[in-house]
């Protein structure tokens, strides 16, 4: 099937498909809300907000990175990707999960759902989850459509830079305001 002209851009689209999937799978969009009525325990510990937020981000990364590594390896073999296509199969989904992991925390500390009765409410009915999923879908689909229509190889590096810059800026914002926002949560 890879010999069909319609599927020639499939190796270039694969990193965006993986990015789309991992951007919607971030656990950080409800990680702060999951503290619920136990948040007072976190507030009383001698742990900075930066350490607390980093721990929540690491959970997402520990879950996603092995999946990305295995999926990218199998996809590169299956699609017989070139060296650069293979590099983007690894780098771009990693940038997506890091950026959307930070984005999830950034949203969840601003839009927590602390009044949940069951954990499913915090996860499935939280505003941060909804916003993150829709933004993640757009961030995966828009560049993929552009790559599919134009075949441009520049979209992957541009998207990588945008995602890394987004993650760094939001992490900086979290570090600066995280302590204050954490103490205001109840």
Burial class (CB in 10 A: 0-12, 13-18, 19+), 10: middle
**For residues 27 and 60, is the Cβ–Cβ distance under 8 A?**
yes
pLDDT at 41 exceeding the cut of 90: no
pLDDT at 3 exceeding the cut of 70: no
Most trustworthy range by pLDDT among 25-39, 83-97, 129-143:
83-97
Please, what is the Cα angle at 64 between 29 and 158, to 5 degrees? 85
Q: Could you report the per-residue pLDDT of 125-184, keeping only the tens digit for each?
A: 888 888 998 999 999 889 988 888 887 788 999 999 999 999 999 999 998 987 787 777
Among residues 126, 125, 127, 163, which one has the least CA distance to residue 143? 163
Burial letters 41-72, b for 16+ CB under 10 A, else e: eeeeeeeebeebbeebbeebbeebeeebeebb
pLDDT at 1 exceeding the cut of 60: no
Please, what is the Cα angle at 33 between 29 and 39, to 5 degrees? 140
Please state, rounded to an integer, the average pLDDT across all residues of the chain.
Answer: 87
């Amino acid at each position: 099937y890879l010999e069909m002209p319609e599927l020639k851009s499939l190796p270039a689209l694969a990193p965006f498909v993986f990015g789309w999937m991992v951007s919607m799978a971030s656990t950080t969009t409800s990680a702060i809300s999951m503290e619920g009525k136990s948040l007072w325990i976190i507030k009383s510990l001698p742990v900075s907000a930066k350490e607390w937020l980093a721990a929540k981000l690491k959970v997402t990364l520990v879950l996603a990175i092995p999946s990305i590594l295995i999926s990218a390896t199998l996809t590169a073999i299956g699609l017989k990707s070139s060296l650069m296509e293979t590099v983007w199969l690894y780098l771009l989904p990693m940038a997506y999960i890091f950026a959307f992991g930070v984005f999830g925390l950034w949203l969840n500390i601003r839009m927590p759902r602390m009044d949940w009765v069951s954990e499913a409410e915090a996860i499935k009915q939280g505003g941060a989850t909804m916003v993150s999923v829709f933004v993640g879908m757009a961030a995966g689909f828009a560049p993929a459509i552009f790559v599919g229509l134009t075949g441009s190889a520049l979209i992957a590096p541009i998207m990588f830079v945008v995602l890394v810059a987004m993650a760094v800026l939001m992490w900086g914002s979290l570090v600066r305001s995280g302590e204050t926002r954490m103490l205001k949560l109840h």
